Structure 1
Amino acid sequence: MNAENGQDAPIGYYNAPHGVAAAERALALGAFAIGTGEFAIMGMLPDMARNRSAGPGRSCRPAA
């Protein structure tokens, strides 16, 4: 018996039938997209604050 057929395999071991490359690529792409989106928003924050006349020491009141 060996780990290839799932018998006597270590706990947590799973031999994926189609590999894990596609899943790893999807996770990497998702992480890249989320990270890129966060940095894009951080880059736009100063412009949005300037357009709304917001800044340090000014209160943010909801629009009436």
Structure 2
Amino acid sequence: VLAYESGVTETVDPLSGSYYVETLTNKIEEKALEYIEKIDKLGGVTQAIEKGFIQREIQNSAYQYQKSIEE
């Protein structure tokens, strides 16, 4: 999953320069922190679930993934 999601398999030799892996790691960390901040602003995980945020995010992600497969 990580190889697919990160795009690491799209480069000829991804480990030839650790800068590439480090860049991918930084991007993943940045996106994760954005989600954590969104959830914190909603009042935490319980509030995010009760407000339907988590469910909508999962639905949107599944929809976008399915759409990309069908195109």
Q: Which has the larger radius of gyration?
A: 1
Normalising by the smaller structure, the TM-score range is 0.3 to 0.5
Q: Please report the TM-score for the alignment, with normalisation by the length of structure 2.
A: 0.38
Higher normalized helix content (fraction of residues): 2
